């Protein structure tokens, strides 16, 4: 009877340990996939916003980035970048948690707003580039915060670091349009 009890106990302990190990491996596997999805999506959105900012510079809406005229080649590149962003958004829907996915939807809306401004697409209300870009940056920060929370990364992304005034680029006069 003691041998049977010992064997049964050993079997139960081994089963619990194996199940715990399997769950831990699965959690790590999904966290790796989630990290990749969050990072790739954030990069795709940042790439789109940078291109829209360059087009906005060509239209005189903002100074700073290298102006980029919306040629057919540039518009094709934007379509490809948007397609990539959209596909990555689908991956987020599968892997991300509710808060990070909700933040990604807000970020999508902000990027589309930048597109409308940069490409001079009419909207229901008049919009301001500087305000739209600030809202984009805030939405991107919220997405990163939610993604980090989803991955269990604690603390702030970074501390504020003041860029010395002497290092800042001088404002370029924008061309009238």
State pLDDT tens for residues 93-109: 999 999 999 999 999 99
Q: Which of 9-23, 88-102, 130-144 has the lowest mean pLDDT?
A: 9-23
pTM over 0.85: no
pLDDT at 170: 73
**Gap between the Cα atoms of 170 and 145, Å rounded:** 32
Residue 48: how many other CB atoms lie within 10 Å = 21
State pLDDT tens for residues 48-65: 999 999 999 999 999 877
Q: What is the mean predicted confidence (pLDDT) over 80-91?
A: 96
pLDDT at 177: 45
Closest CA to 111 of 91, 137, 93: 137
pLDDT at 175: 47
Q: Which of the two residues, 8 and 94, has the higher pLDDT score?
A: 94
Closest CA to 90 of 105, 78, 77, 68: 105
Cite the DSSP H helix spans in 65-154.
Answer: 72-95, 98-118, 129-150
pLDDT at 14: 82
């Amino acid at each position: 009877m003691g041998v049977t009890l010992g064997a049964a106990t050993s079997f139960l302990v081994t089963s619990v340990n194996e199940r715990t190990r399997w769950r831990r491996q699965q959690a790590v596997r999904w966290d790796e996939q989630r990290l990749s999805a969050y990072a790739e999506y954030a990069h795709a959105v940042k790439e789109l916003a940078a291109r829209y900012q360059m087009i906005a510079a060509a239209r005189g809406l903002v100074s700073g980035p290298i102006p980029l005229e919306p040629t057919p080649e540039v518009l094709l590149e934007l379509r490809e970048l948007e397609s990539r962003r959209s596909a990555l958004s689908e991956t987020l829907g599968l892997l991300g948690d509710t808060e990070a996915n909700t933040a990604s939807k807000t970020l999508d809306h902000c990027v589309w707003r930048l597109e409308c401004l940069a490409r001079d697409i009419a909207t229901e209300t008049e919009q301001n580039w500087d305000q739209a870009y600030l809202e984009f940056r805030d939405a991107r920060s919220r997405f990163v915060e939610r993604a980090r929370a989803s991955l269990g990364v604690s603390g702030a992304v970074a501390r504020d670091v003041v860029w010395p005034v002497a290092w800042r680029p001088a404002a370029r006069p924008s061309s009238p349009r």
